[in-house]
Amino acid sequence: MHIVFASHQDPGAWLPALREALPGHTITVWNPQAPPTGAEGAVVWQPPAELFEHERNLKILFNLGAGVDAILRMPQLPSGIRIARLEDAGMAVQIAEYAVYALLRIARGFGVYERDQAAGRWQPQPGLLRRLWPVGVLGLGSVGERVARVLAALDFPVAGWSRSRRAIEGVQCMAGADELPAFLARTRVLVNVLPLTDATRGILNRRTLSQLLPDACLINVGRGAHLVEQDLLDLLDEGRLAGAALDVFEHEPLPPGHRFWSDPRVHITPHIAGTTLRDEAVESVARQVGQYARGEPVSGIVERARGY
Ligand SMILES: NC(=O)c1ccc[n+]([C@@H]2O[C@H](COP(=O)([O-])OP(=O)(O)OC[C@H]3O[C@@H](n4cnc5c(N)ncnc54)[C@H](OP(=O)(O)O)[C@@H]3O)[C@@H](O)[C@H]2O)c1
């Protein structure tokens, strides 16, 4: 099978590994100036729209990321093309680490100690009582399940919320719109790892965030468009929320002068919570290509109607 590599990432870093993992397949860098190759598959990350106008034989995309919201929004995306996404591929553990870091920074006062050190102040914070820090994880897929398990293993009271009901040992699993109010009402630290879809866009807003326990915190590692940023700022100003750790933003890079840059209650990182690891991603793509080539069900196939 012929596969083109279409990504703004340096192909030199990917091609040798893809070719080694996929002997028997032809892998070339997509070249919009050359005649179409007739490739059936494409390994992509944020592909340009011209790819679909140029390579008209494409049947399947192998996305080098977990989220597919940007691809699904492309008007040029042919309706029949299938999309396989990365499932975990080393991202889940990174995002679990991020959630632990952000939670402990808030709950154990490590952010306070950073400021105390800068001020030359020796001031122990009160100890952490886990029962006062119930965590709620929005999304229990490849990433959310790992996040929920890791936080539960640290003895935090953890609940998770998904579309269909999941069963995860040590995690209170809730599902569907009907159970969202009860999920929010028992949550003090809300970790968002939902995919961005029509149903989840703007889900972190004044109405939902106001239902959290007092002194609640938000950790957003899903997508920036899940959050209504002004609602978060208003709730922080009103004292309804205590803080936020944000890895993703409505506009990335976060524009200069945005209030998040300077608000001491908001801790920001530049969309690094779960980075694509080349070796794990290549292994995952090779598995999916193999499944496709053998006519087997391909893992990680996106259901376009539901948007993830
Ligand atoms: N910040 C970063 O660096 C980074 C890195 C990787 C991923 N991400 C983000 O994390 C997202 C999740 O990745 P994943 O691999 O865990 O996705 P996934 O395996 O597809 O899991 C998605 C989860 O969200 C739930 N869900 C989807 N729509 C819902 C709705 N309307 N109501 C309630 N629950 C809903 C799903 O419910 P069901 O279980 O019922 O299907 C599932 O549990 C990605 O889409 C991406 O946006 C961010």
Helix/strand number for the chain, H first, E second? 11, 12
Please, is 48 exposed, middle or buried when counting C-beta atoms within 10 Å of its C-beta (0-12, 13-18, 19+)? middle
For residue 48, the CA-to-ligand 1 centroid distance in Å is 24
Tell me if residue 267 is catalytic: no
CA-to-CA separations, 232 to 40, 217, 236, in angstroms, rounded:
44, 10, 6
- Whether cis (ω within 30° of 0) applies to the bond prior to 253 is yes
pTM of the model: 0.97
**Which atom of ligand 1 is nearest to 199's Cα?**
31
For the cut 90, the answer to whether the pLDDT of residue 8 exceeds it is no
Nearest CA to ligand 1 atom 18: 141
pLDDT in the model for residue 9: 87
Count CB-CB contacts under 10 A for residue 305.
Answer: 5
Q: What is the pLDDT of residues 113-139, one digit of tens each?
A: 999 999 999 999 999 999 999 999 999
Cβ of residue 63 lying under 6 Å from some atom of ligand 1: no
Does 143 have pLDDT greater than 90? yes
pLDDT in tens, 101-111: 999 999 999 99
Q: How far apart are CA 260 and CA 224, in angstroms?
A: 13
Whether 2 is a known active-site residue: answer no
Q: Is 241 helix (H, G, I), strand (E, B) or coil?
A: strand
Distance in Å, CA 195 to ligand 1 centroid? 4
Q: For residue 204, what pLDDT is reported?
A: 99
Segment 31-59, tens digit of pLDDT: 999 999 999 999 999 999 999 999 999 99
Whether the CB-CB separation of 47 and 6 falls below 8 Å is answered with: yes
